[in-house]
């Protein structure tokens, strides 16, 4: 951005909680079903229908809050947030405003310039609206299957300063929610959505500039681009002495620009008032402490542990990209007990190429037990690293044991020095001129001799023994 200005960015993330039913009724939360098939008098807001709190949603919301270091309050309340959109059947959204169930958390970020901590102001519960579908037969239609789906809204403080920081924040937050099993991180299906509040001010100024909210951006890449465009747009206005209008804006992927949607509502525009049909939400200390004790190892702590095993920062990032991948590596390493770096390399180069991820679910071509046994065969010298790839290809997608495949294919490594010496002598005799050139100073030919021996044995000779024997014979 132009020198002399500073961006101020705060993110509001809406994350769908992984419950089977909606927040205040028993309708299913499954995605992709026929429109308006998961609705009932409660989520449609029909007269006389009464909401009942989903206990599992409350439990998952507490898990999110404790994972992000928020203070969970014993008692909180629900309000009605009033606004009129076609996809909001009741004419209001049940949310938390005056007394949310948790406040005051943080999210640690790893940035190119070093680690930093972003503050989280609050996490509260609310129900989702429906979905407007435009352009269906030239008309706009409304699908209310999502209406009433349980969400947590995670409100970040306005302390991010660049599009890159905003993207890093979203990725780190998504990782935490996925690793604790509260959200599937699916941006395409709308279960993880972001609103970005963006303003600019003169560098060093204490007062905040006029902010604009960019609604419902559904990819990390688009978040960066939308915020970058908005910063440039507002900077140009301020630089020209023109006012920034507080408003809600959308992001056009096609035009790569934000555009005005409507004037930005303030809290009083929503006319919040306590929901008369819902009592206060009371969360016991036993529930809160139970969720805190049950928290799994979070991605950042897991990455630090991996570094202690000798993995590189890149390895640690790749292996914590999804809970199922991290679980595969951890379980395989526990069963293997050998060189963690060797296992990490093999998982990244071979195992991950066939992984299929769907939300929190994963199709893994091989089990942790199969990977551990395969690595043990390499460590024992039974097969070479090259042969391990061949065994894995034959094993992937089956329940077969690596040792069974090795025996079936006669793949045991040749490591007997006498046998390898005879093979090396034959290769050298067949390439007498190359031997003369090597002894005359063309040392690069050594690799040729090694390759010739390995080819003759179809990769089954021990590379270490081959090199040792060749050095002796050529010496």
Residue by residue, DSSP assigns 250-284 as: EEETTTTEEEEEEEPPPGGGGT-EE-TTSPPEE--
Closest to 375 measured CA to CA, from 411, 338, 414, 328:
338
Rounded Cα–Cα distance for residues 376 and 370 (Å): 10
Closest to 396 measured CA to CA, from 371, 366, 426:
366
pTM: 0.87
What are the structure tokens assigned to 361, written together? 């679910």
Rounded Cα–Cα distance for residues 171 and 169 (Å): 6
Instruction: Reduce the secondary structure of 49-116 to three states and give it as a string.
Output: CCCCCCHHHHHHHHHHHHHCCCEECCEECCEEEECCCCCCCCCEEEECCCCCCEEEEEEEEEECCEEE
Count CA atoms closer than 13 A to 469's CA, side-chain side. 24
In which region does residue 151 sit, left (phi positive, over 0), alpha (psi from -120 to 50) or beta (all else)?
A: beta
What are the structure tokens assigned to 35, written together? 């429109």
- Straight-line distance from the first to the last Cα atom of the chain, in angstroms, rounded to the nearest whole number: 64
What Rg, from alpha-carbon coordinates, does the chain have?
30
pLDDT at 136: 64
Give the largest CA-CA distance in the chain.
98
Rounded Cα–Cα distance for residues 285 and 288 (Å): 5
Tell me the C-alpha to C-alpha distance, in Å, between residue 237 and each of 52, 158, 230: 48, 21, 11
pLDDT at 269: 82
- Contact criterion met (CB below 8 Å) for 442 and 393: no
pLDDT at 181: 97
Closest to 190 measured CA to CA, from 130, 242, 104, 114:
130
**What does the pLDDT profile of the chain (475 residues) look like in tens digits?**
556 889 999 999 999 999 999 999 999 999 989 999 999 999 999 999 999 999 999 999 999 999 999 999 999 999 999 988 889 999 999 999 999 999 999 999 998 888 999 999 999 999 999 998 877 667 888 999 999 999 999 999 999 999 999 999 999 999 999 999 999 999 888 899 999 999 999 888 888 899 999 987 888 999 999 999 999 999 999 988 999 999 999 999 889 999 998 887 676 788 999 999 999 999 999 999 999 999 999 999 999 999 999 999 999 999 999 999 999 999 999 999 999 999 999 999 999 998 999 889 999 999 999 999 999 999 988 888 888 999 999 999 999 999 999 888 887 777 778 888 988 999 999 999 999 899 888 988 899 999 998 888 877 788 888 999 999 998 7
- Return the sign of the alpha-carbon dihedral for residues 434, 438, 439, 440: positive
- Contact criterion met (CB below 8 Å) for 14 and 185: no
Rounded Cα–Cα distance for residues 346 and 287 (Å): 41
pLDDT at 383: 86
Q: At what angle do helices 417-430 and 463-474 cross, to 10 degrees?
A: 60
What are the structure tokens assigned to 164, written together? 């890159």
What are the structure tokens assigned to 339, written together? 């060189």
Rounded Cα–Cα distance for residues 449 and 443 (Å): 11
Ordered by where they begin, the domains of the chain are 5-289 (no CATH), 297-409 (no CATH), 417-474 (1.10.10.410)
Closest to 324 measured CA to CA, from 373, 364, 294:
364
């Amino acid at each position: 951005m132009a020198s002399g200005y500073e961006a101020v960015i705060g993110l509001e993330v809406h994350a769908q909680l992984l419950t089977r039913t909606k927040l205040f009724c028993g309708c299913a939360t499954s995605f992709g079903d026929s429109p308006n098939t998961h609705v009932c008098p409660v989520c449609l807001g029909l007269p006389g229908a009464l909401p009942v709190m989903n206990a599992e949603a409350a439990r998952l919301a507490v898990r999110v809050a404790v994972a992000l270091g928020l203070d969970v309050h014993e008692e909180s309340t629900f309000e009605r947030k009033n606004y009129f959109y076609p996809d909001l059947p009741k004419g209001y959204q049940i949310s938390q405003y005056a007394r949310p169930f948790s406040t005051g958390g943080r999210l640690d970020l790893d940035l190119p310039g070093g680690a930093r901590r972003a503050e989280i102001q609050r996490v509260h519960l609310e129900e989702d609206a429906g979905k407007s579908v435009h352009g269906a037969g030239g008309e706009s239609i409304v699908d209310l299957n999502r209406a009433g789906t349980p969400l947590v809204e995670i409100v970040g403080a306005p302390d991010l300063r660049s599009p890159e920081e905003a993207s890093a924040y979203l990725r780190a937050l998504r990782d935490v929610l996925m690793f604790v099993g509260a959200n599937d991180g699916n941006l395409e299906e709308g279960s993880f959505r972001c609103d970005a509040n963006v303003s600019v001010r003169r560098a060093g100024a204490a007062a905040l500039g006029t902010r604009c909210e960019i609604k419902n951006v559904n990819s990390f890449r688009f978040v960066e681009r939308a915020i970058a465009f908005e910063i440039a747009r507002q900077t140009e206005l301020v630089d020209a002495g023109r006012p920034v209008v507080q408003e809600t804006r959308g992001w056009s992927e096609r035009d790569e620009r934000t555009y005005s949607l409507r004037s930005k509502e303030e809290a009083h525009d929503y006319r919040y008032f306590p929901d008369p049909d819902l009592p206060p939400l009371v969360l016991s200390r036993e529930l809160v402490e139970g969720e805190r004790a049950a928290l799994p190892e979070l991605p950042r702590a897991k990455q630090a542990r991996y570094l202690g095993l000798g993995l590189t920062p890149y390895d640690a990032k790749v292996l914590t990209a999804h809970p199922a991948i991290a679980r595969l590596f951890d379980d395989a390493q526990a069963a293997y007990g050998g060189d963690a770096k060797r296992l990490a390399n093999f998982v990244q180069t071979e195992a991950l190429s066939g992984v299929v991820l769907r939300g929190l679910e994963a199709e893994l071509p091989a089990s942790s037990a199969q990977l551990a046994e395969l690595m043990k065969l390499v460590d024992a010298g039974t097969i070479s690293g090259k042969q391990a790839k061949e065994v894995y290809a034959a094993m992937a997608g089956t329940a077969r044991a690596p040792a069974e495949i090795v025996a079936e294919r006669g793949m045991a490594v040749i490591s007997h020095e006498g046998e390898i010496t005879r093979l090396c002598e034959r290769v050298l005799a067949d390439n007498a001129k190359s031997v003369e050139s090597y002894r005359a100073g063309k040392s690069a030919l050594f690799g040729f001799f090694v390759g010739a021996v390995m080819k003759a044995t179809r990769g089954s000779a021990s590379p270490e023994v081959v090199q040792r024997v060749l050095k002796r014979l050529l010496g």
